[in-house]
Each structure stands twice: as C-alpha cells, then as structure tokens.
Structure 1
Amino acid sequence: MIRASWTSESSVEATLELWASSLWEVKGRMRPLFTQDRVAASAGAFLDGLLGAERRKTGWMRAEAAGDPGPWRQQAVLGRGRWDADALRDVVRDYALETLADPDAVLVLDETGFLKQGKASCGVHRQYTGSAGKITNCQIGVFAAYVSRHGHAFIDRALYLPQTWTSDPARLAAAHVPKGTPFATKPGLALAMIERAMAAGVPFSWVAADTVYGVGDIEMALRRAGKGYVLGAKSDHPFNSWAGKPLVAGTAETIADGLAPSAWTRLSAGDGTKGARLYDWAYCELADLDGAAYDQTGVWTRGLLIRRSLSDGERAYFTTWCPAGTPIQILVSVEGRRWSIEDAFETAKTELGLAHNETRSWHGWHRHVSLVMMAFALLAVIRHHANAPPPKSRARPRRRAH
C-alpha cells in the first residue's frame, strides 16, 4: 500500500477500514465500464498496482504484485480490451466531486511532459517540457485539476498532438488515433476541458493557469460563463486602464517598473512544504465592466496582478477578471492554488506511476492516465475523510439527585 502522506487522529484500524472500503467502492464504480468480468478484474489489479509500494509501476512490477506470471493480463487493459477511457474520466470526476465539491473551488489548468525514446509513442515529438526544463523527446499531456478547501484531484486530461502528427495520416493510424481527430492547441484542449466541466455542472468560481493559457479564447469563454480567473501573462503583454481607473499603460513589465513602493504588499500564496509561500504583490484595477456585455449580472473588474519574489525580485504577471470589489487577497489565494497541480503531478509521477506508461497508442495513454487519475482521486478522498474531525459525541444528561 502506498505510504500515507498525512497525519490523522484516526486509529490504525479505522484507517485500514477506510482504505479497504474506498478501494472496494471505486472498483465498483469502474465495473460498468467493462463488458467482461476478467477485464474488470484486471483493471482492478492494475489499480492495486498503482497504489502499491513499488516505486516503478511497470507492467512486470504490477504483474508481480498481483501474482501474475507476466504483464500480459494488465497490458490487455490498456491495449486489447474494449472500454472507454473518457467514461472512466467522467467516473473519476464525479467520484472526486462527491467529496471535494465547493462553489468557490478553482479549476487549475497545466501541462506536464512524459519523456520518451523513439518516434512511435503517440504524440511524441521534440518539444519543450517544464518537467525537464528543456526541449527533448517527449509527450505532453494537458490536465485540469479541481482544487477546493477539501483537497484536490485531477478531473480531466488530454494528449497533445503536434502538427507533425496530425498532418501524417499513416502515423495517426499506426497509433490508433480516432479518425477525424484534428490538431488542437494546448489552450484549445484546456478550453474543451473547461466546457466539459461546465456542461457536467462542476461547481467552481475561478480558473487559474500559466502563460500558455493566459490570453485569447479562454478569457472570453470564462467571462461569458461568469467565472473569475487569474491567468499568467507574459512580461511584454500590453495592459491599459480606462473607464475611470488610475492611468496604467504599457507592457506588464513596464507597469511593474513604474509602481511606487507603497503599491506592493506582502501576502502568502498558501502553505507549501516549508510553510507560508510569501511574495510581494501589486494589483492594478484596469476597468470596471457591466456584466451584461457578457450575459452576466453585476459589475466585473479587469486587472493586472503582479508577483515579486522576496529572494531575487523575479516577477510574474497575471491577467485577472473578478466581481468588482474582490480584494487582492482573494486573487492571490486563487493564483496560489496553481501549486496544487504541481504537487499532484509530483505525487502522481513518483508514487502512482503516471510517467510509467509502456504503451504507444492513443487509447493506451488515455487509459493509463485515467486509471492513475482514479488512484489519485482515491487518495484525495481518503485523505479528506481521514483528517476530518471526529463527530462530537452527545453528552448524556445528568440525573437529578433526589
């Protein structure tokens, strides 16, 4: 069993019971996805392997943990078996939301790389990935994480296909990419995730993302949907104020250079592994706009949020959209939620085998990643329940002395 990464006052017996009942529950939710009992059993064993103590979650390692003579039974779950990975994605989302749902939640969008050798793995290409900090041979997956005061979990994912793939029909066919799959940019994939979340009734008030997703169609879609956002912007992105706001004009970097010392305030973006993540912040309100222009009610404010490191003065810039009167502390808190998806990537890769997919096909990637998402959601639900305060016991009424 994977090591626990939280503290709890629950007894060992209660925690083990919580693990067993939760694992039994998610396997039950997965069962309708499979037409055959043996495939469902293999998927359950696959999930057990992801949650196991082995550091590498390769086919042979998972098979050994399951007592199988070889990896073929579990490999069939990713390849030869017939089941819909998108249906599992939706099961994961609904399962996670039963515990984590909150109207003030933040939907965080980000990407991560999967280092690969060769040219056969679906979507592999020489491209930049922050996971390695350089251009290298890899796949890129775009993810959406649901982050609330109750915890966080992945609820959507998509494999990015570079144009070198979508313009090569033979290569697409060899990797079993569904016919008609068009080229989509990373922001395009993220926008589709936002739309799926809203169509499914996922409760959230904010979206946070880095500069890859910070401008364009995502901004307009969120305004029309009445969702606030804190999205990364490049240093040379132009900003201008109007409609009665203090004069601000120029690139984000130029505006930051011209701010008075009094414009900065020190705030925490949330707790990290070493305590509060403190930065200096500045917030420029650029315009108050009538929400009716976007089929919304009330007044909304467009702004520029700037973060400055205490150690080296490095700055980051964010374009914001929020109900008028929203204090800077709320915007800082929303931006700070982006850390949760970085934590999720690290946990999923180091403990749940997110990067240990050995298949080369489109279906193999989405099935593997969706099973890892289920394992991560299971951990999030267990963590929440294990850390919940015990119910208060009712005090027995005292008997009157006669």
Structure 2
Amino acid sequence: MAVGHSLNPARWRVLLDEAETRVADRFVRAEPRRTAGQFVEGLLSGVERKTCWSLAEQAGHRDPQAMQRLLRTAVWDADAVRDDVRSWLVEQFGHPDAVLIADETGFLKKGVCSVGVQRQYTGTAGRIENSQVGVFLAYVTPHGRALIDRRLYLPEATWCAQPERLAAAGVPDEVEFATKPALARQMIADALDAGVPAGWVTGDEVYGADPGLRADLEDRGVGYVLAVGCDRRVAVNDGRTLIRVDDLAERIPTRQWQQHSCGPGAKGPRDYLWAWITTATRPGEHRWLLIRRNRSTGELAFYLCWSPRPVPLHTLVTVAGSRWNIEELFQTGKGQVGLDHYQVRGWTGWHRFITLAMLALAVLTILAAQQPDPGPDIIALTVAEIRRLLNAFVLAIPLPPEHTLHWSTWRRASQARARRSHYQRRLGYRTRRKVAAC
C-alpha cells in the first residue's frame, strides 16, 4: 500500500474506535457520545478550520447544533475524559524514566469576552497580544510523547478580581487565581497521584523560579532539571557563599566543558557544550547547576538540577533537551488537530474542546509509536503523514453534492443574519449617541 511501510487501515480503524470507546462511559446520553466520536474524527480530518460548523458539515449533520451542545450544555465531564486519555497513553508507552514537561502556549483572540483573555505576552506571537494562555503538561518517553493535562490561566486583576466576569464566563466558584507554576504543580501532582510513571520533570525559567515546585518534587523523590535566569544565585563550596550562576560560568576552565547532544533536531543532533557544578550543601544530596553553552554564539542557559540518586552528566543533558518536545507538541496540536481553532468563550467549552483535541492527538501519537522501523532509506511515518494516510484510507467519507450545497446556503444565511444584527446594533448605538448629545 505504501513503499517502505506495511499499513493496515483496518487496524487503524480499530485504534480510532478504541479511542472513542475509552471515553464512551463519560457520556450519559447516546447523542453526545456519538457526537464526541464524530468531533474527534473531524479534528483528525482534512478540514481546514476545526470549528463546530465545519466539523458538523464533515460529520454529515444538517446544522452545527449537536456539535455546539457537545461543547456547551451536554452532560459529560471533561476532566474524566482527560484522565482516560492520560491512562491510555501511559498504557501505550509509560516508562519509569519518563519526563513530565510543563509549559504554556497562547491562543490569540479578539474581543474581551473569551474566558481568561487579556493583552499579555505570548510566545505564539512573540509579543504582547490579546490572547488566552493555557498551561499544559506533556509526557515524554523513549516510546512516544503526548499532552496529558491542561489548565486555563486566569489573570488575577482582570479576571479573578472580577466575580461578575467569572460568572458570565461560567468559571466554577471554587476556581481561584493560580500562577502558571502553581497550575503546573497541580497537574504534576494529579499525574503522580494517578500512578503515572515518571522519573523527571523539566520546564523553562517560569517554572524553575518557583521554589514550591522544586520542593514538591523533592518530597516525592522525582528528579528535576529546571531552567533559571542568569541572575540566580546558588550555594557553592561551604554552602554559605551565594554566587550568581553567570559568574560561575565565567570561572569554568575550558577543559571542563563537554560536548553532548541533547537530542535529534531537524538538521541533525543538537550539540552544545555543557558543564556542571555540584551545589549540594549536605552529605548525600545530589544537586547540580547545569550550564549549556551554544558552540556558535556562546549564549548560556542555566538549570537547577536535583535527583534522588547519583546520575551522569548525559542524563541531565537529555532531560534538559527533552523540554523542546512540548514546543513541538504545541505545533503539532495546532497544525494537525486544530488545538487553537476553537470558537468558544466559556470555561466549560474551552476545557471540552482542548480535551477532545488532546484525544485526537493521542490517536496520532499512538499510531506513530506503533509503526515499524522502515529502514535506513526512508524516514519513519511522521504524525502529519499518518494523519494524511488516516484520511485517505479510514476517514474518507464521500458526501453528496446536495449536502455541500445545503451547507453553503446555511452558512450564507447565518452570515446574513449576523450582518443584519451588527448593522442594527451599530445603528442603535449611533441613535443613542445622537439622543444623548441633544
């Protein structure tokens, strides 16, 4: 069926059905259960924009109401589905030395009504934009990687301090302000309490700067390699002297820098120069400052490291390098299953859409992990290529021309109603201004 690969579309269909069966018991009624399966298949489809309108058309519905009900009012627990997705992924490629990675990503939005939205910095745009921010937890093992949890960040001043705004967005009363590291701590604790096997946690400077996160991990006996800023001070020698990490880097002799790859990249191994300094202040502790130097630019990066047991330098380097997996998962999630395509404003809708997108991404991840090694003359099937083949051999559903024409008419009629509504609202606003001026 494809050169260099032995594909079994029937087996792929079985795995897709298994994904839907895994979460079926979370839906009380048959209609939302069936719609959820169609929603996930729509996220995996070749539809350009994964909105309720386009997913409903892809599923053969006459209108988007069933898809919209699934995200808004249908009775089901998105957190329970999230737990099912996590358990499934752990069954497929759980590993005792797995790495949990915490990071956030932005979702660009217009207006002020979407829950958690405000003007804030987002790496998605590389600048301050009107956006929502979601904090995610990734699970990375030698066998595969996937997103296993999510939390929506609610800014303190513009959201958590405004109860009426929270109520309008459907935020539960028990939800309080939490920093991004605090949200990461919640997700890591939930994963470990659920029995997810993991030996390490890593994250960027946002998470490395939180002492509570480091303390939690040490209490649980989980190692960490967490990035920190160049102005971080660490204890050396007698344990009483605090020195900035960038000052320490300047004191390291050239011979003590070692070249290691922190993982494969698009253009080959990602080689850097690395050095490590023991920062333990008590006998039996295993603490280090890990320093990375770019061989071309000389740029430095710093990591606080702790382990319940002695480990070699290469282990810390591998954990530090694994953080880029979550960036690639964000890119894959947004590009392949529409992680950022949602058009919901409320708390419930956001968590439901993101959870179903995580389930769709888990399908692609597991399919990729199950593919045999194709040999040296061809690269392994990527997630993007698997999605293309999945659409060609499993999800291809021919729709009659009448259905396509019906949706064209439906969309244009809905857009006409929306335009009239906007014009009437704007006309009423102008009228009120004129009356006020008189």
TM-score between the two structures when normalised by the length of structure 2? 0.82
Partner of 2:321: 336
1:56 has 2:49 as partner:
yes
Letter in structure 2 aligned against 1:285: T
Question: What do residues 229-278 of structure 1 show as CA deviations (whole Å, max 9, x unaligned)?
Answer: 0001011010121469xx98411111112221112111101011221111
Partner of 2:272: 279
Partner of 2:333: 348
In structure 2, distance between residues paired with 1:103 and 1:148: 9
Deviation at 1:300, TM superposition (A): 3.2
Letter in structure 2 aligned against 1:231: L
1:203 has 2:188 as partner:
no
Partner of 2:169: 175
1:370 has 2:364 as partner:
no
Deviation at 1:55, TM superposition (A): 2.9
SS in 2 for 1:300: coil
Letter in structure 1 aligned against 2:353: H
Letter in structure 2 aligned against 1:375: A
Deviation at 1:282, TM superposition (A): 1.1
1:186 has 2:180 as partner:
yes
1:288/1:324 contact within 8 Å kept: no
1:225 has 2:220 as partner:
yes
Q: Which shows bigger deviation, 358-367 or 124-133?
A: 124-133
Letter in structure 2 aligned against 1:107: L
In structure 1, distance between residues paired with 2:281 and 2:258: 22
Letter in structure 2 aligned against 1:136: E
Report matched runs for 1:12-161 at 5 Å.
Answer: 12=7, 14=8, 16-161=9-154
Residue from 364, 378, 387 that aligns with 1:379 = 364
In structure 2, distance between residues paired with 1:158 and 1:18: 33
Question: What do residues 25-80 of structure 1 show as CA deviations (whole Å, max 9, x unaligned)?
Answer: 01111111111111111111110111001232122221221122232211211112
Letter in structure 2 aligned against 1:204: A
1:8/1:387 contact within 8 Å kept: no
Letter in structure 2 aligned against 1:60: W
Bigger helix fraction: 2
Letter in structure 2 aligned against 1:183: F
Q: List gaps (5 residues or longer) in structure 1.
A: 1-6, 291-298, 391-402
In structure 1, distance between residues paired with 2:174 and 2:309: 43
Structure 1 pair 332–187 and aligned structure 2 pair: CA distance change class (3 A): same
Letter in structure 1 aligned against 2:222: K
Letter in structure 1 aligned against 2:73: R
In structure 1, distance between residues paired with 2:282 and 2:325: 31
Deviation at 1:180, TM superposition (A): 2.2
Question: What do residues 160-213 of structure 1 show as CA deviations (whole Å, max 9, x unaligned)?
Answer: 000121111110010000012110011100001111011101100000100000
SS in 2 for 1:340: helix
1:9/1:387 contact within 8 Å kept: no
SS in 1 for 2:285: strand
Residue from 288, 294, 305 that aligns with 1:303 = 288
Partner of 2:410: none
In structure 1, distance between residues paired with 2:281 and 2:24: 50
SS in 1 for 2:295: coil
Letter in structure 1 aligned against 2:162: D
1:239 has 2:224 as partner:
no
SS in 1 for 2:146: strand
In structure 2, distance between residues paired with 1:22 and 1:224: 38
In structure 2, distance between residues paired with 1:8 and 1:236: 53
Ranges of 4+ aligned residues in structure 1 off by more than 6 Å? none
Deviation at 1:135, TM superposition (A): 1.2
Q: Which shows bigger deviation, 323-332 or 230-239?
A: 323-332
Letter in structure 2 aligned against 1:198: L
Residue from 240, 249, 252 that aligns with 1:256 = 249
Deviation at 1:324, TM superposition (A): 4.5
In structure 2, distance between residues paired with 1:350 and 1:389: 25
2:5/2:374 contact within 8 Å kept: no
In structure 1, distance between residues paired with 2:70 and 2:270: 42
2:236/2:243 contact within 8 Å kept: no
In structure 1, distance between residues paired with 2:125 and 2:28: 40
SS in 1 for 2:302: strand
1:243/1:287 contact within 8 Å kept: no
Letter in structure 2 aligned against 1:377: A
Letter in structure 2 aligned against 1:184: A
SS in 1 for 2:10: helix
TM-score between the two structures when normalised by the length of structure 1? 0.89
In structure 2, distance between residues paired with 1:113 and 1:8: 39
CA RMSD in angstroms, aligned pairs only: 1.8
1:144/1:190 contact within 8 Å kept: yes
1:248/1:255 contact within 8 Å kept: no
Letter in structure 1 aligned against 2:177: F
In structure 2, distance between residues paired with 1:117 and 1:327: 48
Letter in structure 1 aligned against 2:77: D
In structure 1, distance between residues paired with 2:373 and 2:24: 29
In structure 2, distance between residues paired with 1:255 and 1:55: 50
Larger Rg over CA atoms: 2
SS in 2 for 1:55: coil
Deviation at 1:118, TM superposition (A): 0.5
Percent identical: 44
